[in-house]
């Protein structure tokens, strides 16, 4: 039971056990009894209210300039001012706050003028049963308007960010990104901003790819091609040269022509990977056949560098589900790297072991210089070649990137284990055939 008289300017909170949000309401009323009736009616409808009562012009003005309200409930005729004055002050200080006039009888013309000035509703004091629904409706609609304004503001912010971002892009700045603080807001706009970042990253990757192509065209491809042409020109100019010299020049031309073909193959493979056009057959393939093919192709290279290539056959016949040509390319690349980066007298070992009934592991290890620890995690990136010894050796630098993609598109994975100064071991896995032995064409990783 309420007791006592409310003092103007006093803020009270009606407790409520309902789950509705608390509403902040300014009550402009010079009759404390009427103010209590209004609050009682709201409380009976389970509306939780934090209200402030004001009865003077100055009190209303101060309230409107010092805090925000969800709603204003105002009598029409007050001591020395009317609801028209309340509307004027509210429009100046809190223009978006809805107003409901709660009064005794007022003329129809007066009610129309109030509505034209923006009053949302008027309720007669002897019909307060309409008040709770009107309060809830106006506050709900006001909050919807607030949300719309927030979304509009957010949309303008996003548009500004994207406009600046595209402006930077048009100037050639591919380092531009939308900041994490804007992406952290969980709405559909953050998804758009995320797409912008992904697009820029893709453009930057394409630019890096084109830079790599330019580098290959100006150096990696030109160098072996120039050597081939020089060797052939030397042969042409020296038709009577000793057979030993002619064989040497022909050998140089062949090696560089092979290198040139390999780099063009790398370039084509990377193009197919980047454009998502690379497909891999998955056929039941004998593991020993893959190993023997690798040994036949790579043993002469190892012998020329006075290295031992040890290819271990499997004790029991086994198959993997793979694309034979692309898997041979992987093996040749890994063994070729081991040959290039290991010195004379090194031993290079190729071995296959089943991990379980579903997976085969093939490993290529050497006792060369190994890979520095800070480069091991990035070794499969196309932009990484390695340092020191690796920098001194020619090649496209794309081999391991291509190997990783070829392995993944056949359902396996590839990894490196290396202790600097003690060698490196590159190993990859491939699936073993299922009972039905069906072949598959994989176009996706």
Domains and CATH numbers, the chain: 11-143 (3.40.50.2300), 174-212 (no CATH), 221-277 (no CATH), 278-442 (3.30.565.10)
> Is the pLDDT higher at 428 or at 142?
428
Count Cβ neighbours within 10 Å for each residue of 296-317 and write b for 16 or more, e otherwise: eebbebbeeeebebebeeeeee
Q: Is residue 90 pLDDT above 90, yes or no?
A: yes
Q: Is residue 325 pLDDT above 80, yes or no?
A: yes
- Pick the closest to residue 382 from 222, 261, 262, 271 (CA basis): 271
Any idea which of 23-27, 305-309, 357-361 has the lowest mean pLDDT?
A: 23-27
Q: Is residue 386 pLDDT above 80, yes or no?
A: no
In what side-by-side order are the strands of the sheet with 359-366? 308-311, 347-356, 359-366, 423-431, 414-419
**The pLDDT value given to residue 184:** 58
Average pLDDT over residues 11-30: 63
Number of other residues whose CB lies within 10 A of the CB of residue 115: 13
* The model's pTM: 0.49
**The pLDDT value given to residue 445:** 42
Q: Cβ(262)–Cβ(223) under 8 Å?
A: no
Which range has the top average pLDDT, 76-80, 170-174, 238-242, 425-429?
Answer: 425-429
Q: Is residue 7 pLDDT above 70, yes or no?
A: no
Q: Is residue 38 pLDDT above 50, yes or no?
A: yes
- Pick the closest to residue 389 from 425, 339, 437, 355 (CA basis): 339
**The pLDDT value given to residue 394:** 46
């Amino acid at each position: 039971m309420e007791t006592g008289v409310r003092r103007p300017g006093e803020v009270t909170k009606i407790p409520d056990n309902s789950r509705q949000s608390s509403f902040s309401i300014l009550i402009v009323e010079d009759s404390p009894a009427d103010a209590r009736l209004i609050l009682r009616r709201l409380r009976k409808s389970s509306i939780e209210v934090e209200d402030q009562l004001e009865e003077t012009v100055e009190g209303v003005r101060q309230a409107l300039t010092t805090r925000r309200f969800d709603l204003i409930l105002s009598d029409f005729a007050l001591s020395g001012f009317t609801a028209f004055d309340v509307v004027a002050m509210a429009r100046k200080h809190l223009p978006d706050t809805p107003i409901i006039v709660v009064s005794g009888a007022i003329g129809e013309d007066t009610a129309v003028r109030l509505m034209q000035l923006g009053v949302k509703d008027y309720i007669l004091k002897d019909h307060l049963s309409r008040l709770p629904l009107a309060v809830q409706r106006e506050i709900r609609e006001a909050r919807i308007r607030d949300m719309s304004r927030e979304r509009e503001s957010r949309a303008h912010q996003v548009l500004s960010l994207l406009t600046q971002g595209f402006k930077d892009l048009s100037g050639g700045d591919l380092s531009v990104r939308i900041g994490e603080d804007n992406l952290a807001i969980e709405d559909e706009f953050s998804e758009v901003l995320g797409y912008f970042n992904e697009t820029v990253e893709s453009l930057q990757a394409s630019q890096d790819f084109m830079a790599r192509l330019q580098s290959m065209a100006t150096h990696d491809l030109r160098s072996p091609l120039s050597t081939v042409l020089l060797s052939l020109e030397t042969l042409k100019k020296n038709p009577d040269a000793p057979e030993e010299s002619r064989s040497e020049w022909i050998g140089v031309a062949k090696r560089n022509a092979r290198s040139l073909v390999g780099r063009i193959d790398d370039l084509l493979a990377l193009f197919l990977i980047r454009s998502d056009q690379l497909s891999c057959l998955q056929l039941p393939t004998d593991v020993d056949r893959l190993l023997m093919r690798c040994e036949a192709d790579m043993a002469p290279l190892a012998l020329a560098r006075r290295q031992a290539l040890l290819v271990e056959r499997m004790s029991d016949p086994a198959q993997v589900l793979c694309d034979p040509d692309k898997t041979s390319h992987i093996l040749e690349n890994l063994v070729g790297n081991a040959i290039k980066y290991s010195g004379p007298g090194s031993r290079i070992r190729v071995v296959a072991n089943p991990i379980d009934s579903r997976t085969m592991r093939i490993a290529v290890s050497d006792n060369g210089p190994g890979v520095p620890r800070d480069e091991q995690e990035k070794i499969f990136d196309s932009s990484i070649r390695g340092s020191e010894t690796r920098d001194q050796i020619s090649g496209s630098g794309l081999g391991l990137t291509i190997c990783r993609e070829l392995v993944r598109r056949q359902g396996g994975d590839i990894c490196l284990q290396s202790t600097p100064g003690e060698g490196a071991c590159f190993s990859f896995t491939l699936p073993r055939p299922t009972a039905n032995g069906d072949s598959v064409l994989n176009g996706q990783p």
